[in-house]
Amino acid sequence: MHRKKFYTAISTIAFGWAAVAAPALATAAGDGERLGSIEKRAWGKTQDNRTVCVYALANANGMSARITDYGGIVVSLTAPDRNGKYEDVVLGYGTLAEYVKDSPYFGSVVGRFGNRIARGKFSLDGQEYTLAVNNGPNHLHGGLKGFDKVIWESEALIRDGAVGVRLHYLSPDGEEGYPGNLDVTVHYWLTDANELRIEYSATTDKATPVNPTHHSYFNLAGAGNGDILGHELMLAADRFTPVDEGLIPTGELRPVAGTPFDFARPTAIGARVGDDDLQLKYGRGYDHNFVLSRWDGKLRLAATVYEPKSGRLMEVLTTEPGVQFYCGNFLDGSNIGKGGKPYEHRYGFCLETQHFPDSPNRPEFPSCTLRPGEQYHHTTVYRFSIK
Mark whether 288 is an active-site residue: no
Residue 138 or 194 having the CB closest to ligand GLA: 138
Judged by beta carbon, residue 39 or residue 320, the one nearer ligand GLA is 320
246 or 255: CB nearest ligand GLA:
246
Residue of 139, 141, 214, 215 marked active site = 215
Provide, rounded to whole angstroms, the least separation between the CB of residue 216 and ligand GLA.
11
Rounded to an integer, what distance in angstroms lies between the CA atom of residue 327 and that of residue 318?
Answer: 19
Whichever of 351 and 370 has its CB closer to ligand GLA, that residue is 351
Find the catalytic residue in 39, 232, 320, 352. Answer: 352
Identify whether 345 is a catalytic site residue. Answer: no
CA angle 115, 353, 268 (to 5 degrees): 100
Q: How far is the CB of 105 from ligand GLA (least distance, A)?
A: 5
Closer to ligand GLA by Cβ: residue 56 or 73:
73
- Of the pair 157, 350, the CB lying nearest ligand GLA is at 350
- The 10 Å CB-count burial string (b at 16+, else e) for 69-108 is bbbbbbbbbbbbbeeeeebbbbbbbeebebbbeebbbbbb
Rounded least distance, CB 213 to ligand GLA, Å: 9
**CA-based nearest residue to 233, from 261, 259, 271, 268:** 268
Smallest distance, ligand GLA to C-beta of residue 74, A: 15
Q: Quote the least distance from Cβ 217 to ligand GLA, whole Å.
A: 9
| Binding interface with ligand GLA (CB under 6 A) | 104-105, 115, 140, 247, 287, 324, 326, 330, 350, 352
Residue placing its CB nearer to ligand GLA in the complex, 142 or 180:
142
Q: How far is the CB of 267 from ligand GLA (least distance, A)?
A: 20
CB of 115 to ligand GLA, least distance (A): 6
Does the bond joining 112 to the residue before it have cis omega, within 30 degrees of 0? yes
CB 371 within 8 A of CB 204: yes
Residue nearest to ligand GLA (CB): 326
Q: How far is the CB of 100 from ligand GLA (least distance, A)?
A: 17
3-state SS string for the chain: CCCCCCCEEEEEEEECCCCEEEEEECCCCCCCCCCCEEEEEEEEECCCCCEEEEEEEECCCCCEEEEECECCCEEEEEEECCCCCEEECECCCCCHHHHHHCCCCCCCEECCECCEEHHHEEEECCEEEECCCCECCEEECCCCCCHHHCECEEEEEEECCEEEEEEEEEECCCHHHCCCCEEEEEEEEEECCCEEEEEEEEEECCCEECECEECCCECCCCCCCCCCCCCEEEECEEEEECECCCCCECCCCEECCCCCCCCCCCEEHHHCCCCCCHHHHHHCCCEEEEEECCCCCCCEEEEEEEECCCCEEEEEEECCCEEEEECCCCCCCCCECHHHCECCCCCCEEEEEECCCCHHHCCCCCCCEECCCCCEEEEEEEEEEEC
Task: Report the C-alpha gap between 46 and 49 in whole angstroms.
Answer: 5
Closer to ligand GLA by CB, 41 or 239: give it. 239
| Residues designated as active site | 215, 352
